[in-house]
Amino acid sequence: MSKENLDVFEQVQAQIKDACDILGLDDSYYEILKTPERAMQVAIPVRMDDGSVKTFIGYRSQHNTANGPAKGGTRFHPDVTFDEVKTLSMWMTFKCALMGLPYGGGKGGIAVDPTKLSKGEIERLSRGFVRKLGDFIGPAVDIPAPDVNTNPQIMAWMVDEYNAMRGFNNPGVITGKPVLIGGSLGRTEATGRGVAITVREACRVMNIDLKGAKVAVHGYGNVGSFAGLYLHSLGAKVIAAFDLGGGAYNEAGMDAVALMEYVKRTRTVHGFSGSQNITAEEMFALDVDVLVLAALENTITMENQHLVRAKIVAEGANGPVTAEADGQLLARGITILPDLLCSAGGVIVSYFEWVQNLMNYYWPEQEVNEKLERIMVNAFINLWQMATDKKVDMRAATYLVAIRRVADAMKLYGWV
């Protein structure tokens, strides 16, 4: 395994140190920010359908709570590791601070391939995870949400288990729930919508006409499909898409509405009507205006970064470009819209859901979308200005803005 894939946690620590140094913060701030406040590993025994018992390993990391309770998703994936979860919780601290949300960063996961489990086994696993973490989560402590391979139904099971432990209804303990039991309208589409808003704003300041702009999307799940859908609605042409099942390419552009319906039926973009098969490497090498990365971490590495020809790389996933590859893309004049900004739509609407739960008062979808738009646009404008003023790239600007806000809160509390 290459060094860039091994040391993501250490790379984030280095980014924090660089930002602290630029901001003129003393070492006390870095000492607090370089590691999570609390990180847990739990063993979850699950009764399988055949009567046997299998133990799964789960994790939850709470990085920093100076700005509020920890907030972040829970993923089910066979490659989940403790270091990955800790790293993602650090990114969540800065993403929430960047957006001005009253949250710190959290993240969780279970090392499991959910495609190999039945619905009943997934439910028992989800409930078991909450039983192990029940004393460490809550509306004012740590608020989980969906992530890779988790969904509103899994969140519903988790809320129900937490309610059973507490003895009363606590809808604000978890976001990303079904609307019927306290979820927010607009949540499912929020991350993809946020990606599209960020790309739209970037094209505006870069004088790129989004109408007719060519877009390729790597990872056509929830985030990628909605990003493609909204960019299509803004006049862009989605000419390529790729997921675990393969790729689809049509130079003339694909109907994003029809493509989304096709993916719902087949669970892949591969074989979409009128498209040609395409590999991920072939898609990265396309001459496009925008490349949306909406799959997992470490999608673009030193091994494939030379292929990328897009004017804009939009990070709809967490950490899809490694630190080394990031530098190479920037050196070639490619603008990277960093994950802390680009993929923030989900946590913003999760915040709206939490607020609605606490008030027991719910907003129409148009109001949710308007609030999301306002926060995303303001964040983009502030970051673009910071990057321009400091003569740094957008990723460096995100750390400067976010760490400044977290550091100010820590100082007010007397942590440093």
- Provide the 8-state DSSP code for 184: P
One of 107, 177, 214, 311 is an active-site residue; which one?
A: 107
Average pLDDT over residues 323-339: 94
| Contact assessment for residue 254 and residue 274, using Cβ atoms and an 8 Å cutoff | yes
User: What gap in Å lies between CA 222 and CA 165, rounded to an integer?
Assistant: 31
Six token digits for residue 164: 């059973």
Mean local confidence (pLDDT), 321-338: 94
Name the β-bridge partners of 43: 57
Instruction: Determine the pLDDT at residue 323.
Output: 87
For 68-99, the pLDDT digits (tens) are 999 999 999 999 999 999 999 999 999 999 99
Contact assessment for residue 184 and residue 368, using Cβ atoms and an 8 Å cutoff: yes
Residue from 147, 150, 187, 139 nearest 352 by CA: 187
Q: Taking 80 as the threshold, does the pLDDT of residue 19 lie above it?
A: yes
Instruction: Look at residue 5 in the predicted model and tell me its pLDDT.
Output: 41
Q: Give the pLDDT band of residue 46 (cuts 50, 70, 90).
A: very high
Within 10 angstroms of residue 113's Cβ, the number of other Cβ atoms is 11
Residue 342: what residue type?
C
Q: How would you label 167-198 residue by residue, b for 16+ Cβ within 10 Å and e otherwise?
A: eeebbbbbbbbeeeebbbbbbbbbbbbbbbbb
If we measure between CA atoms, which residue out of 388, 405, 406 comes closest to residue 397?
388
Which residues, 6+ apart, have CB-to-CB distance to 44 below 8 Å? 55, 56, 57, 58, 110, 125, 128, 129, 132
Same fold, 36-167 and 188-342: yes
H or E element at residue 352 = helix 345-359
The radius of gyration of the chain's CA atoms, rounded to the nearest angstrom, is 20
Residue type, 230: Y
Domain boundaries, the chain: 36-167, 188-342
Phi, psi of 105 (to 5 degrees): -105, 135
DSSP tag of 252? E
Task: Give the integer Cα–Cα distance in Å for 255 and 269.
Answer: 12
**Residue 7 binned pLDDT confidence (cut-offs 50, 70, 90):** confident
| Encoded amino acid at 205, one letter | V
Q: How confident is the model at residue 4 (pLDDT cuts 50, 70, 90)?
A: very low
Note whether 69 and 104 are within 8 A (CB). yes
- At 117 the three-state DSSP class reads coil
| DSSP three-state, residue 394 | helix
Tens-place pLDDT, residues 129-167: 999 999 999 999 999 999 889 999 999 999 999 999 999
Q: What are phi and psi of 267, to 5 degrees?
A: 65, 20
What's the pLDDT tens digit per position in 254-294?
Answer: 999 999 999 999 999 999 999 999 999 999 999 999 999 99
* Helix ranges (DSSP H) in 111-255: 119-133, 152-166, 187-205, 222-233
Q: Are strands 237-243 and 246-254 parallel, antiparallel or unpaired?
A: antiparallel
As a whole number of angstroms, the distance between CA 268 and CA 276 comes to 14
Contacts of 41 (CB under 8 A, 6+ apart): 57, 58, 59, 82
Structure tokens at 38: 């609390």
Residue 317 contacts residue 88 (beta carbons within 8 Å): no
The CATH superfamily label for domain 36-167 reads Leucine Dehydrogenase, chain A, domain 1 (3.40.50.10860)
When the pLDDT of each residue in the chain is averaged and rounded to a whole number, the result is 95
pLDDT attached to residue 3: 45
Which residues 6+ apart lie within 8 Å of 135 measured at CB?
none
Per the annotation, the verdict on 237 as an active-site residue is: no
Residue with tokens 């699950």: 46
The reply to whether CATH 3.40.50.720 applies to domain 188-342 is yes
Q: What's the pLDDT score for residue 50? A: 98
